[in-house]
Structure 1
Amino acid sequence: MFTNPAQRSSLVGTIHKLIEEHGKQGALSFDEDRKIIEIAADYMAYEDTGIGFLYSGFAHVGLPHKRLADDLVWQIETDRAVMIVEPGRRAVRGTNPVSVGVPYGSKARLIMLYLQTEAIKTQNREIELGKSLRDWLKRMGIPQGGKSIKDVKEQAERIFRCRISFHFQSGNSSGLINQNIVDAAIFTDDHKDNGKQQFLERAKLSELFYDQLQKHPIPIEEAAIRALNGHSQALDIYCWLAYRLHALKGPTAITWSALKAQFGAGVVRLDHFRPKFIDNLKIALAVYPAAKTEVTKTGVILHPSRAPIAPKIHGIPR
């Protein structure tokens, strides 16, 4: 475990320096964490300099990492926000509607990132999906067949049918935002699946969600998103760091209890959460080498750090 920001930066800097000087295979011969080297190498090798965008509310609270029962509501609460995700329903002819469940895992997060990124880039609530989404997911390292694409379709339906409530707290004031992510969507038969599955071709973000996204976007690197594919908690940590670090005025301590509330919903014991969080923090830092953090016995100290994407360059308010 690292005890100061210099040591933390040294780890990331050493790994990136090893990869630059010796290549991925050469770096793997050193006594460093193999998984971190592979993720850092993937991040460094990705030549596309694309930028993604995320609504800042998702830097405070996140979707579940694992599947819940289809009729369960997801609630996560931190000192800054509470998010409630209610599963939507699908009509079934001749019988009662069925609950489709809340979105979860890394694929749900990638689809959400795509929707938000396209909305910001095009300045339009209407998002083209279909081939455009498949092409983007392919760039992010998602295979385009079999179980993988089936999972994408399932998560897309869960996202487009669910309802999300954000409750924000700031000092003595609080705010409530109730919203669907999507107002309308068009499904078409996917003939490659023999017509047994449907794929979303177009979606229209709800006006409220679109307005909040326009007011509070976080710019993030697509190279980082791609490297973190399959690591949903590390992706949440990366987005949180991208949102918080560049705005800090000085060192800020976050307790293990607060970290568990934000990133460890579903983990009963703090001593089980702590090592898993540290592992995922290392993964996040592998794609955010400028981040300065300090792991202590009582939690994590965040230090002012350069943002992964400079907000002022892209017209994003600080």
Structure 2
Amino acid sequence: MKNTSKNITRNATQDLDSFNEDELGYTTRVLIQALFPYRRSDHDKVVRQMGTTQITIHSLKGLPYGKYPRLIMAYLITEAVKRKNLPTDEARKIPMGSSMNDFMRKMGLASRSTGGRNGNLKNIRDQMRRIASSTITVEQLLDKNRDLGTKLDIVKSWDLWYHHNPEQGCLDESYIILSEEFFQEIIAHPIPIDLGILKSLSKPRSMDVYIWATARKYVLKYPLSLTWAQVQRQFAPETPHTAEGRKSFKQKFRATIAEVQALWPEMGLEVTSEGIVLHPGQPSISSRRHYKELR
């Protein structure tokens, strides 16, 4: 997806009573830890830790990676929040469209899906399989005398139709049924995000930084400082922890911040010689509108 919206700006203090419904989306707290790799990985699990919370994602089909899983998960979570007042079994059944291009449009992607050996149709199908086989484990590392955790399958079942012609429809609409546990996690802890920003970002790391920053803003009362080592552990754990690796990461991360700030100028993320500082302020989606939507 090409980034065609770099001149778009967001006023984080705007009155969101007039906010575009199509741009109001959601994520959930277990996905703000940059769980998905940015590139294909030979590993079948990723472990992230922030404080006493450790989150592990495991997938028998291989870990989801790149931009598409982030957009797919944003769509699934947003639809789950929108459907939360339906009977639970119906709410958990997320419609995926009657064709691949229909699904692409639901995700807000302007580009048409293409078939062929290297087309994005093949890539999307692969990422959907990886997501469907993924399990998230959340553990609280409290002390040596106690273990506390939760295991969440993302998907319970699915019926996804693919065709070499991405405009080819089918009689039955494709769907994904979220697991009961993941659905309950979503509706209990939804975090509002601006889908306009998310879809306009060109790199998966930029998507992760945006989601992390706007989620933190909802609870941040004092400046949050992270060292470069902490930032690298969260957003580039695969980068070698060498002088050359750290130098390369810092350069790339500065470019990442610049891309997010071009779309969200009020982000309030400062780069220092020691690391980064996220300052308190309005998230990219006003909490006032968020709570109105959830009532």
- TM-score band, normalised by the shorter chain? 0.7 to 0.9
Selected match of 1:227 from 177, 200, 203: 200
CA distance in 1, matches of 2:160, 2:265: 41
Task: Report the counterpart of residue 56 of structure 2 in structure 1.
Answer: 84
Structure 1 or 2: more helix by fraction: 1
SS in 2 for 1:237: helix
Partner of 2:121: 149
Structure 1 residues 259 and 106: CA distance shift in structure 2, 3 A: same
Q: List gaps (5 residues or longer) in structure 2.
A: 11-19, 85-90
Given residue 270 of structure 2, which amino acid in structure 1 is its aligned partner? E
* Counterpart in the other structure of 1:273: 249
Q: Return closer, same or farther for 1:236/1:200 CA change in 2, 3 Å cut-off.
A: farther
From 55, 66, 71, the equivalent of 1:110 is: 71
3-state secondary structure, aligned to 2:6? helix
Distance 1:175 1:242 in 2: 27
Q: C-alpha distance in 1, partners of 2:184/2:141?
A: 20
* Distance in 1, Cα, partners of 2:148 & 2:265: 34
One-letter amino acid of the counterpart of residue 126, structure 2: E
**1:220 aligns to what SS in structure 2?**
strand
Letter of the structure 2 residue corresponding to residue 278 of structure 1: R
Shift of 1:170: 7.3
State the SS of the aligned residue for 2:79. helix
Q: Determine if contact 2:48/2:234 at 8 Å carries over to the other structure.
A: yes
Bigger Cα displacement from structure 2, 234-243 vs 210-219: 210-219
Instruction: Choose which of 309, 313, 316 in structure 1 pairs with 2:285.
Output: 309
- How far apart, in 2, do the equivalents of 1:285 and 1:270 lie? 22
Residue of structure 2 equivalent to 1:19: none
Under a length normalisation based on structure 1, what TM-score does the superposition of the two structures give?
0.74
- 1:184 partnered with 2:157: yes
Q: Distance in 2 between matches of 1:161 and 1:314?
A: 31
SS at match of 1:86: strand
8 A Cα contact 2:8 2:262, kept in partner: no
Q: What's the CA shift for 1:163?
A: 1.6
Unmatched tracts of structure 1, length 5 or more: 1-34, 89-99
* TM-score under structure 2 length normalisation: 0.79
SS at match of 2:258: helix
Task: Identify the residue that residue 59 of structure 1 maps to in structure 2.
Answer: 32
Alignment-derived partner of residue 232 in structure 2: 260
Map Cα deviations across residues 31-81 of structure 1 (whole Å, 9 max, x no partner). Answer: xxxx99x6522567xx77521110112113421101012x63222333353
Distance in structure 2 (CA, Å) of the matches to 1:280 and 1:169? 31
Q: Contact 2:97/2:106 (CA < 8 Å) preserved in 1?
A: no
Alignment match, 2:17: none
**CA spacing shift, 1:278–1:169, aligned 2, 3 Å:** farther
Change (3 A) 1:185 1:120: same
Q: Deviations over 1:183-230 (max 9, x none)?
A: 11113352627x9xxx981111111111111111111111101211x3
Match of 2:178 among 195, 205, 224: 205
Q: How far apart in 2 are the matches of 1:217 and 1:77?
A: 21
Q: Cα distance 1:191–1:293, how it changes in 2: closer, same or farther (>3 A)?
A: closer
1:113-152 matches, cutoff 5 A? 113-123=74-84, 124-131=91-98, 132-137=102-107, 139-146=108-115, 147-152=119-124
When the two structures are aligned, how many residues end up with a matched partner? Answer: 264
- Structure 1 49/298 Cα, relative in aligned 2: closer, same or farther at 3 Å? same
TM-aligned CA distance change 1:242 to 1:168, over 3 Å: farther
Q: Percent identity?
A: 25
Conserved? CA contact 1:184–1:204, under 8 Å: yes
Aligned equivalents of 1:175 and 1:277: distance in 2? 34
Cα distance in 2 for partners of 1:200, 1:273 equals 43
